[in-house]
Structure 1
Amino acid sequence: MVVVRLTRLGRKKRAFFRIVCMDSRKKRDGSALDILGYYDPLKSEDKVKLDTERYNTWIQKGAKPTMAVENLVKTLKG
């Protein structure tokens, strides 16, 4: 099953996340099928950048977003 989830980058105590599509059986930081955007919790503005067109394409193909990704997408829309 393909999932849309966060993968962690950055150094210790300076987390930075990519929003990616990947196989659910892979490790959190494993190889991704597609990189859709990023989430930077340390920024005060523009925390989330997401290519909504590619995101919607993956959702239509059957990919399931995690709760964290769903919440980030809701913040972008609202």
Structure 2
Amino acid sequence: MLAIRLTPFGKKKNIKYRIVVAPARSKLTGAPVAFLGTPDHYDAVALADWIKKGAQPSLKIRQLCKIS
């Protein structure tokens, strides 16, 4: 099963996040299937496409992208 979630990147004490599609059981910093952008600038069409394909958005992604 695929999950749409935030993954951290950047320096220590200056962490930024990316929205990625990754296997649900993989580690947080593991290799993602696809990058969808950052919480400020993400590809809404690709996000909707991955949800149609069966990827489950995390709770924080639902809140950020206003998905019900």
* Superposition misfits of 4+ residues, deviation over 2 angstroms: none
* TM-score normalised to structure 1 length: 0.81
What RMSD in Å do the two structures reach over aligned CA positions?
Answer: 1.2
What residue in structure 2 maps to residue 51 of structure 1? 43
**Aligned partner letter, 1:29:** T
**Greater relative contact order: 1 or 2 (C-alpha under 8 angstroms, separation 6 or more)?**
2
* TM-score normalised to structure 2 length: 0.92
Gaps in structure 2 of 5+ consecutive residues: none
Query: Paired residue for 2:58, among 66, 69, 73?
Result: 66
Identity level (%)? 36
Q: How many residues align?
A: 67
Residue 31 of structure 1 deviates from its aligned partner by 0.2
**Aligned partner letter, 2:2:** V
Larger CA Rg, structure 1 vs 2: 1
